[in-house]
Amino acid sequence: MKKLAVLLISGWAHGVEAMYPLADVMRDSHPVSSFSLAELLMQGKREDSQNGAISAYAKAISRHLDESGEPACIVGWSTGGLVAIEAAANNPEKVAALVLLSTTARFCSAKEYTSGADPAALRAMIRKLKRNPEELLADFFSQAVLPMTIPENELACRTQNALKQGTDSLIHGLEYLVQVDLRGALPAISVPCLIIHGRQDKIVPWQAARFLASNLPLSNAEFSPSAGHLLIEQCPKDLIQRIAQFVGTLR
């Protein structure tokens, strides 16, 4: 029997290497493809789709699903999880399951939705990214690693790696977070969904995962009490084992 393909999508300001610990384990039993947001943006902008309601990120994933010809399980972390949800909503026959790590259906708070960030704060990030990208990225990574701390040399390395994606690509990612709202798409996504979130997440509130679980029909939310936003780094063994177990039950 052909094994289910697995697509891994990393988060904002991260490359595909952020998903390598999971990819290294999963590829022993499944065909695995890994994507960064920067790569998806570049690929998606080349698509000729006339549907302007679909992001470039989701267009690129849709193209990959079309080319593979087989349903896949999409594992999305942070902003990558938003892209995974969008791809599932637009490709119901091609997505077999979702694993959503530290993610949300809407990044910004809105009327009757308090499980998000202040939209004004996100717009301030965009302005600061244009003026002083190094400082903005250092601030972001310092928040993302909480409740851990990060050595200065590692912080500088992560910042420089993120800058290699290009400021325009990083700004596009933040603008996507300002605009995208997938809350209304959730009830129609009728595939198994595993949701995992850290209770100490300072980037995406853990309540966002609870909202996802309440609105995705076939979902289960699990919470790590001591982990923050960087789940793959902070609890790699348990996380990878749980994801592999979930994917292994899919047909």
What is the residue-level pLDDT of the chain in tens, covering all 251 positions?
578 999 999 999 999 999 999 999 998 889 999 999 999 999 998 875 556 689 999 999 999 999 988 899 999 999 999 999 999 999 999 999 999 999 999 999 998 899 999 999 999 999 999 999 999 999 999 999 999 999 999 999 999 999 999 999 999 999 999 999 999 999 999 999 999 999 999 999 999 999 999 999 999 999 999 999 999 999 888 999 999 999 988 86
Q: What is the pLDDT of residue 174?
A: 97
Enter the tokens of residue 236: 């790699």
What is the tally of structural domains in the chain? 1
> In the chain, where do the E strands start and end?
5-9, 32-35, 72-77, 95-101, 193-198, 219-224
Q: What is the CATH classification number for the domain harbouring 195?
A: 3.40.50.1820
Other CB atoms closer than 10 Å to residue 21's CB: what's the count?
15
154: in domain: no
Length of the chain: 251
Q: Tell me which residue has tokens 């679909």.
A: 54
170: in domain: no
127: in domain: no
> What are the phi and psi torsion angles at 229 (to 5°)?
-75, -30
Q: What is the pLDDT of residue 248?
A: 87
130: in domain: no
- 32 phi-psi bin (left φ>0, alpha ψ -120 to 50, beta other): beta
Q: What is the pLDDT of residue 52?
A: 65
> What are the phi and psi torsion angles at 194 (to 5°)?
-105, 125
206: in domain: yes
Q: What is the pLDDT of residue 115?
A: 94
Q: What is the Cα–Cα distance from 49 to 31, expressed in whole angstroms?
A: 27
- 192 phi-psi bin (left φ>0, alpha ψ -120 to 50, beta other): beta
163: in domain: no
Closest by Cα among 101, 85, 112, 108 to 187 = 85
Q: What is the pLDDT of residue 47?
A: 72
Which residues make Cβ contacts (< 8 Å) with residue 6, sequence separation at least 6? Answer: 26, 30, 31, 32, 33, 72, 73, 74, 75, 247
119: in domain: no
In three state form, how does the secondary structure of 204-227 look? Answer: CCCHHHHHHHHHCCCEEEEEECCC
Q: Tell me which residue has tokens 């979902």.
A: 219
Q: What is the pLDDT of residue 112?
A: 87
* Domain of 234, in residue numbers: 5-107+182-248
Cα three-residue angle 96-100-106, rounded to 5 degrees: 115
Q: What is the Cα–Cα distance from 204 to 86, expressed in whole angstroms?
A: 18
Q: What is the pLDDT of residue 250?
A: 87
173: in domain: no
Q: What is the Cα–Cα distance from 31 to 48, expressed in whole angstroms?
A: 27
